[in-house]
């Protein structure tokens, strides 16, 4: 049976918006804010000790945890805890975190600019509490876009440590610097990981020069495309249909 009013926790790093949202929701008589905060860490601590019916969170928060990571932490202890997530952010990383989170029900995820008036948030809170789900079509489109990008990314075929090494390599870091990041005393460990990356991307078949393979691997990371080189050094990529197309030598432009 639905309690009346529903007890909510509000996590929002903008204190003025947080207070206005709470005021508007409580004015309906159907919502009572039992805790509000600006960080995900505070929200997690409260939920571990006190009862709430629904969480209302911004994706971007003041602490180390973003809103989605906060939900994941809370749902480890309280599976399917009802939540409404909102955001104005358009970062791939937020959509990627949501896609990988495994959040399937008892939630609504909407654009702050589209749905944030208290009278629009209220039905979303009820929907989440009832175990249903709703995702703003704009966000659903972006999540699908990120999913397609990830699945077609060269990084998708690497092991987790290999991905991190490849990204550091693309930033121009030396093997010694990368080894230091991982706490490896022997930089040859990184050389072996580099070799695995080159093999996965077919960069060790046509040349034996590690510097060339390293540069080509960096280009693959930076363009996020499977690139290949012919004997004359011309660069090619494959479009979504699988057609092989020459890469424009004006770096950054794909013909």
Residues 63 and 121 reside in one and the same domain: yes
**d(Cα 113, Cα 119) in Å, to the nearest integer?**
14
Co-location of 37 and 78 in the same domain: yes
| Number of domain units in the chain | 2
CB 163, CB 40: distance < 8 Å: no
CATH number at residue 145: 3.40.50.2300
CB 82 within 8 A of CB 3: no
Instruction: Please spell the DSSP secondary structure of 44-107, one letter per residue.
Output: HHHHHHS--SEEEEESS-SSSS-HHHHHHHHHHHSTT--EEEEE----HHHHHHHHHHT--SSE
> Would you call 213 helix, strand, or coil by DSSP?
helix
pTM: 0.67
252 falls within a domain? no
135 shares a domain with 41 = yes
- pLDDT in the model for residue 185: 80
Q: Is residue 253 part of a domain?
A: no
Please check whether residues 105 and 123 belong to one and the same domain: yes
Beta bridge partners of 31: 6
Tell me, yes or no, whether 251 lies in a domain.
Answer: no
Q: What pLDDT, in 10s, does the model give residues 129-180?
A: 999 999 999 999 999 888 887 778 888 888 888 999 999 999 999 999 999 9
The CATH number of residue 187's host domain is 1.10.10.10
pLDDT tens track for 121-131: 999 999 999 99
Residues 11 and 131 in one domain: yes
Query: How buried is 106 (Cβ within 10 angstroms: 0-12 exposed, 13-18 middle, 19+ buried)?
Result: buried
pLDDT one digit per residue (tens) for the chain, 255 residues: 667 899 999 999 999 999 999 999 999 999 999 999 999 999 999 999 999 999 999 999 999 999 999 999 999 999 999 999 999 988 888 998 998 888 999 999 999 989 999 999 999 999 999 999 999 999 999 998 888 877 788 888 888 889 999 999 999 999 999 999 888 888 888 999 999 999 999 887 655 688 899 999 999 999 888 888 888 888 988 776 667 888 865 544 444
Does one domain contain both 109 and 218? no
Residues 206, 235 share a domain: yes
Q: Which of 150, 166, 197 delimits the end of a domain?
A: 150
- Of 129, 150, 171, which residue sits at a domain end? 150
Given 134, 150, 166, the domain boundary residue is 150
Domain that holds residue 185: 154-246
At residue 234, the pLDDT reads 87
Q: Is residue 74 located within the same domain as residue 162? A: no
């Amino acid at each position: 049976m639905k309690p009346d009013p529903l007890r909510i926790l509000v996590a929002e790093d903008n204190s003025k918006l947080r207070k206005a949202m709470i005021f508007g929701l409580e004015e309906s008589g159907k919502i009572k804010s039992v805790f509000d905060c600006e960080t995900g860490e505070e929200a997690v601590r409260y939920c571990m000790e006190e009862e709430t019916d629904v969480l209302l969170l911004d994706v971007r928060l003041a602490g180390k945890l973003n809103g989605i990571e906060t939900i994941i932490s809370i749902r480890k202890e309280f599976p399917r805890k009802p939540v409404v997530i909102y955001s104005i952010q358009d970062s791939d990383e937020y959509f990627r975190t949501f896609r990988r989170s495994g959040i399937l029900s008892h939630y609504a995820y909407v654009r702050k600019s589209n749905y944030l008036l208290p009278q629009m948030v209220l039905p979303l809170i009820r929907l989440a509490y009832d175990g249903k789900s709703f995702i703003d079509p704009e966000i659903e489109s972006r999540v699908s876009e990120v999913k397609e990008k990830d699945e077609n990314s060269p990084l998708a075929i690497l092991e987790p440590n290999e991905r991190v090494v490849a990204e550091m390599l693309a930033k121009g870091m030396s093997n010694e610097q990368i080894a230091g990041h991982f706490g490896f005393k022997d930089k040859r460990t990184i050389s072996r990981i580099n070799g695995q990356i080159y093999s996965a991307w077919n960069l060790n078949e046509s040349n034996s020069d590690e510097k060339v393979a390293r540069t080509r691997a960096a280009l693959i990371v930076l363009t996020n495309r499977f690139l290949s080189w012919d004997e004359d050094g011309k660069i090619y990529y494959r479009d979504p249909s699988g057609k092989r197309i020459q890469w424009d030598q004006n770096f950054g432009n794909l013909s």
